[in-house]
Each structure stands twice: as structure tokens, then as C-alpha cells.
Structure 1
């Protein structure tokens, strides 16, 4: 039968449960020793009444009292032994402690009630039979005295055991809830840290894309114009001056956009908040700041800059443009911008076609260049391979479709479709 909660717990010698079990074991040994001594003394009277040798009665009493040592492991057996020896007028401590342990243990209540009733009845019968001869003629007093003794030796230990058992189970339940809450809080903290780290990573990626799109396009055009300026400086001073002005315009535009982005990053922070909450909230604030970025309205100006750099660009628009969400406008613009930048880097002198289709619920764009001329000098622009990756990330983040790859004619094509539903 299951013992009390005092004997359950950790196994370490330095843990509190180990010391509690040790104290419980010492208590059991002490109670068993006292019970054995009591039953041994009472065994003298039992031996004389039963007509057996006194040493045998003492040994019997010691054996009965020592049963109390097993009260935590087999409380039902201890109570049954106490009920069995009650006619011999021995084992009062055994009966009281056994009933207390029975009530405090996780024993079915019907078994506890049955054994308590049996002990109550047994004690009443024994007291009635023993006091009837001493108080002859006063049956009422015998009954009252028997009932009082039976109740005094049975009910208090049972009630105390029920209280201690209920209190122990309540404490265990509260401890389990506290442990569970601690685990949940730890899990929530871990998840919050993961979300914060994810948010920081996403925001770093977003800033990297913006920086790449702003710097790569402007600087690529500046390099192209600078190369043209170098080529015509001595032959055509007017054209050289025009290219120099374009280089200056490109540089100023790049600086302006960089200042805007740095202004967003250096914006005054709100009130201090927990690190995890601040990291999660940061992308929302920055996303809102980027809503004022480029849109499809600036597509003609974007293409015009590439034309001014000497690129032959044709723009084909299908359908009527309607109001798109800011993130769709910005992503569409950045895709075309990065595709044109790649054309400047890898296909100088090639013919480029920009197609834009406004459809119901989506907008599609395609930038395709033909093969680069064999006699065209490469501008020598560095490429880190982040342009296509950034375009793909932008498009997929909005639930769109992105495809890129070489064409059969030897050119390259970039296609993207963005949903426009809010």
C-alpha cells in the first residue's frame, strides 16, 4: 500500500527529502520501540489471563508492538493487528498511531471508514466487557464510559490523520503548480528570447536589403557615368560636363536616401521596455518608417536614370495602375531597380525591356536584357550575389512569386508577381 508523502522525494543525500526520510525513519523506530515496550509490559497481564508463560506473553507483546515499524508501508496491516490484539488489552499506542497513519495515507476512504468502524466497535466491546464487572449494577455508566473511551481512542487520531493528509496533498499540489508555473514561465521566456532574436535577425536582413538597394543602384550608375566621363573628357567636353553633373546627382540622391535610413535608425527611442518586447516591437516601428519609400510613380525617373547612363531601356505597361499598399509599391520598385542595376553590372550595352502588368488582385513585373555586345567594355562593378537574394526575400515576404534565370537568347530575365490585396 502506498505510504505517506514523507517517504517520497529526491534521492540525493544532501537533498531535503533525504533528511526528511531519515527523520521519519528515526521517528518510526522510536515509536516502534515505545510500542514494543508498552505491549511487552501488557504482555505480562495477558500471559497470566491466558495461562501461558510470562516470557512468552512478553515476547508476543514485543512482537505485536514492533509491527508499528511497518506503519508507512502497510498501514492497513498495522490497524488490523491493533484490532486483533485489542481483546488482550494491549497495543493502545499501536492502535492510535496505526489509525492516524491509515487516515493520513493515500488509502481509499471506504477502507479507512471500515477499519475505523471496526476499531471503534472493538474498543467499545473490550471496554464494556472489562468495566462491566467493576461497575455492576450501573449499566448506563458502563455504556457511557465505553463509548467515551472508544471514541477518544479512535476518532481524534483519524481526524488528525485526515487533516494532515489533506494538508500534505494540498502542499504537494501547490508545489506541483508552482513548479509547473516556473517551467511555463521559463518556456515563455525562452520563446520570447527566440522571437526577439528572430525579430532582430529579420530587421538586420531588412536594413541590409534597403542599404544594398540604395547604395548598389546609385553607385553603379555613378561608376557607369564616371567611365563615360573618362572616355569623352577630351573629345566632348559638353557631354563630359553632363556626365559629371549626373554623377553628382547620383551621389546626392544616394546620400539623401542614406540619411533618411540613418534618421530612421537613429530616431529617438520610446520609453524603456523589456529587451524582448523592444526587439519584437522594433520591426513594426521601422516598417512604418519605410512606408514612405519609393513607389511605382518613380518608375519613369528610375528608367530615365538608366537611359542617361547609356542603357537602351524600353518600358511596356499593361493595364491601369490602382492604389496598392505601400509595401507592394516599394517592393515592385526595388525589384525593377535591382534588376536594372544587375543589367548595368553584367550586361552593359544590352537592350533591356521592362514590362509591368496591372491585373486584378496582383501586379507583375519583368526585366529582361539581351546578350551583352562582345565589343562593349565591362564596367568592372563588384557583385556580392545579394541582389537576387534580396529581391526573392522581398517578394516571398509578401506572398508573391519570384523567378530569375538566363534566357535562350543569352540574356537574363527577372520576373515577379505580387498580390495587391490588403
Structure 2
């Protein structure tokens, strides 16, 4: 029947304080009924006070019409009903005023005080009225009859509207609290959706970067060796046909290995793709599929046992490569072995591109909680370094190695050596021995 403070603040623009037209009509109707009641009761009040009857009627109409402002000033309505209680008028205004006061946002301390004052006023007026009626009727009653009946009538008039108002007010505040909580949850869900979309975008970007690294590692190394062998094949084709045939066979092997690795990687990506669905696929599902593809590719990648074969491929291309293994050989997690292998592979590819013919030393050290690898090449021979084989360079090799190592929490260093060569070093944490 009343409105909260927030609704009053929103609706009380200008001179209006009703939130809806229906509330205004209802309050005006109550005020009219209350004014008619007080106007009729004003006749008896005027006769008892020896006042003109029209004056009593006008006074009653004015008093009853105060009920129209019950939503804006409930305290004023209750005070007016208490003030006119001795005149035995405003019973409807008192009942509605107590209900409105209890249901509003007025502090409970003020509500209790005003309810006590209204109850006391009604009780006193009822006691006086009952005694006068008993005296006029010349009835004999017990000493407790009048106070008991007055108390019963007072509680019957004041308790129900007060309790109903307290219940309605508490229910309205609960509904407002639930509505605010629902709005807050909706905002949180919106933020979570935005965050999930950002994470999905990050996952897609990470997957694209991973695929680019894989393509670079697979294609760059194999194709570099193929170009080196093709150059050697061109140089010896007329002079040494047998060596030319051998180099041609090596080129074919390199091409078949490159195609095999590309097929494996593309197969993993197809297995991890999101299946078509009639409804739009959530962005989070795309991110999960990309992550699954990355993990599957990591499990199927090369390992450290293939380093000797990798070095042998470079030897067949004419490079002088020495592999040195230090420490006790043991198994590592797949992502660690795969990253170590790719670092050595990319470093050897860079040697073929930028220092053809240089001597290369590959060092692999197995330590307690880490594995370290280093690829160091000497200066490029002048007679070979100037010729080259025309291998293009995209400048992404060192960047890709650094990204791989950093992703596992390792350290990566690269740079020229004092002897005029180049060195690539990486250290990967692997945890305690036996963790794999």
C-alpha cells in the first residue's frame, strides 16, 4: 500500500509522489471516504463542544482529507489521527496511517513510539467513552470490565494494521533485496561472459601462434636441408653422378619426412576441431578444443632420443655436427622433450641458413631438476659463407624458441660468440627425478 524510499525518490518528481496512477486513485478514494467519515463524526463533536455544526463538519472534512498524503508523510497522518482521537473521529485514518507507517522506511524507533502514542490515545478515549455509556445506561459492572473491554477494542483496532504493515514492509524490502541481487548477478554473468570471450580469443590466438611455430619448425628445417642437398646435387650432377643420386635420394627422404610431420599435425588439429552443430558454438568450446589440440600435439611430438638422427641429417647435408650428452639420461614430460628437440632443430636450421659449412657442437646436459641444451657453431668459412644457398629467413626462429622455452618457465639466451660464431642456450625445469 505504500512505496519505498527508492520508489518515492523516482516518483516524487515535482508535486507527485505516486509511482502509478492506480496508487493515486486509491489514495484519493481513501481520503474521500475518510473525509466523509470525519465529517459525519464532526457533527457529534460540534454538539459536544457546543460549536456550530457546519464548523464541525468542515473540520472533519479537512482532517479526513489528510489521508491523501499518507505515502509522502505517514508520520503526519498518524500524528493527526492521535490529535483528533479525543474528538472520537478519524478511526479509518488511524488504521490506514498505522499500516502505512509500519510498511514505510521510517526508522523502527519512531514507528514504535508513534504506535504506542496512538494505542494509548485510543485506549484512553475508549475507556472514557465506555464509562460514559455505562453511566448513562445505569449499568453495574465490575472494576475490570471497562479497562478490559477498552484494551480489547484498542488492540483490535491498532494491532492488525500495525502487524500487516510490518509484514508488507519486510516483504517489500526482501523483494527489493532479491531484485538488486538478481541485477548484481546479471552484471556478474555479463562480466564473466566478457571474460570468457576474452579467454576464448586468447586461446585462439595462442593456438594460431602454436600452429605457426609448428609449421615453422617442421617446414623450415626439412626444407632447409632439402635446399642444401639440392645445391650439392646441382654442383656434383655432372662431376659425380653417384653422389648426385645419393643427394637426390636424401632430398626425397627429407620431403617425405616433412609431409609426414605436416599430416600428423593437421590430423591432430582435425581431431581437436569443434564439430558442426545447429546452434552457434560457444566461444569457450573453441578455446577448449584449441587447448585439447595443443595437448594432443605435444604428446605426439618428437623426443630427445631423436637428436642423434637430427644431427645425422645435418651431417648428410655436409655440416660437421658433434653431439655431446652429459649426465644420466632419463625420461622427461612430453612437452619438455618436445621443446628441447625443437630448440636444437631450429638452431641447426639457422646454422644451415646463416653459417653453411661451419662446425657445430650440440650439448645436452641432464641435471637434477632441469635439462639444458646448447648449440654453438664456429665462424663461417669464407669460401662457403659467401656462396650460400639462397635460404630465406623470416626472422621468427629465435622468437619461436624463446616463446617455447618461456612457456615452460625456462631460460633462453642467444648471441654471437667471441670466436665469431653463434650460440643458442636454453634451460628447462623438469621437477624432481622420476616425476615424468
Higher mean C-alpha deviation, range 222-231 or range 355-364? 355-364
Structure 1 window deviating more from structure 2 (393-402 vs 139-148): it is: 139-148
Moved more, 31-40 or 74-83: 31-40
- The number of equivalent residue pairs is 416
Once the two structures are overlaid, the 10-residue window that deviates more, 249-258 or 43-52, is 43-52
More moved, 345-354 vs 397-406 = 345-354
The CA distance in 2 between the partners of 1:55 and 1:83, in whole Å, is 23
SS in 1 for 2:84: helix
Alpha-carbon separation, structure 1, partners of 2:318 and 2:294: 36
- Return the alpha-carbon distance in structure 1 between the equivalents of residues 220 and 11 of structure 2: 64
Distance in 2, matches of 1:12 and 1:41, equals 34
User: Aligned partners of 1:384 and 1:61: how far apart in 2?
Assistant: 97
Q: Is the 8 A contact 1:100 1:160 kept in 2?
A: yes
Partner of 1:160: 164
Cα displacement (A) at 1:394: 0.8
Alignment correspondent of 1:119: 118
C-alpha separation between the residues in 1 aligned to 2:66 and 2:418? 96
RMSD: 2.8
C-alpha contact (below 8 Å) 1:233/1:240 kept by paired residues: yes
Which residue number corresponds to residue 324 of structure 2?
316
Task: Write out per-residue CA displacement over residues 39-78 of structure 1, whole angstroms, 9 at most, x where no aligned residue.
Answer: 3443343334334455554444344333323323332332
Aligned partners of 2:188, 2:410: CA distance in 1, in Å? Answer: 37
Out of 186, 209, 212, the residue aligned to residue 205 of structure 1 is 209
Farther-moved stretch of structure 1 (254-263 vs 264-273) = 264-273
CA apart distance, 1:397? 0.9
Partner of 2:377: 369
Q: State the 1:334 CA deviation.
A: 0.5
For 2:391, what is the secondary structure of its paired residue? coil
Which segment drifts farther, 212-221 or 269-278? 269-278
SS at match of 1:218: helix
Q: Is 1:244 equivalent to 2:254 in the alignment?
A: no
Alignment of 1:302-341 (within 5 A): 302-341=310-349
- Does residue 394 in structure 1 map to residue 393 in structure 2? no
TM-score (norm: length of structure 2): 0.86
Aligned pairs for 1:40-59 (under 5 A) are 40-59=39-58
Provide the C-alpha distance between the structure 2 equivalents of 1:415 and 1:7, rounded to a whole number of angstroms: 67
Q: Which moved further from structure 2: 288-297 or 329-338?
A: 288-297
Of the three residues 297, 300, 306, the one matched with 1:292 is 300
Indicate the larger mover: 368-377 or 345-354: 368-377
CA distance in 2, matches of 1:314, 1:12: 86
Deviations 1:138-186 (CA, angstroms, capped at 9, x unpaired): 4456555533432232112112212211221222222223223323333
Provide the residue aligned with 2:426 in structure 1.
416
1:133 aligns with 2:125: no
Structure 1 stretch 89-98 or stretch 47-56: which is displaced more?
Answer: 47-56
- Partner Cα distance (1:384, 1:19) in 2: 72
Change (3 A) 1:350 1:9: farther
Tell me the TM-score normalized by structure 1: 0.89
Q: Which range moved further: 285-294 or 393-402? A: 285-294
- Mapped to 1, the partners of 2:397 and 2:8 lie a distance apart of 60
Q: Which moved more, 1:33-42 or 1:254-263?
A: 33-42
Q: Flag the 1:7–1:39 CA change in 2: closer, same or farther, 3 A.
A: farther
Single out whichever of 293-302 and 374-383 deviates more from structure 2: 374-383
Q: Which whole-Å CA distance do the structure 2 matches of 1:360 and 1:239 have between them?
A: 45
Query: Secondary structure in 1 aligned to 2:371?
Result: strand
Shift of 1:362: 1.1
Question: Which of 328, 331, 347 is equivalent to 2:355?
Answer: 347
Q: Secondary structure at the match of 2:373?
A: strand
Q: Specify the alignment match of 2:185 in structure 1.
A: 181
Asked whether 1:381 is paired with 2:391, we answer yes
Q: Distance in 1 between matches of 2:124 and 2:151?
A: 9
Distance 1:207 1:19 in 2: 64
**Per-residue deviation, residues 175-206 of structure 1 (Å, max 9, x unmatched):** 22322332333333333333222222222222
- Residues 7 and 19, structure 2, Cα contact 8 Å, conserved in 1: no
Quote the Cα distance in structure 2 between the aligned partners of 1:261 and 1:126.
Answer: 95
Which residue of 2 is the match for residue 101 of structure 1? Answer: 100
Residue segments in structure 2 that go unaligned for 5+ positions in a row: none
- Aligned-pair CA distance for 1:224: 0.8
**Whole-Å Cα distance in 1 between the matches of residues 112 and 11 of structure 2?**
37
**1:278 Cα deviation from its structure 2 partner:** 5.4
Q: Which residue is equivalent to 2:4?
A: 5
Compare 289-298 and 53-62 and name the one that shifted more.
Answer: 53-62
Q: By how many angstroms is 1:324 displaced?
A: 1.6
Taking a change above 3 Å as real, the CA distance of residues 182 and 148 of structure 1, as seen in their structure-2 partners, is same
Structure 1 unaligned residues grouped into runs of 5+: none
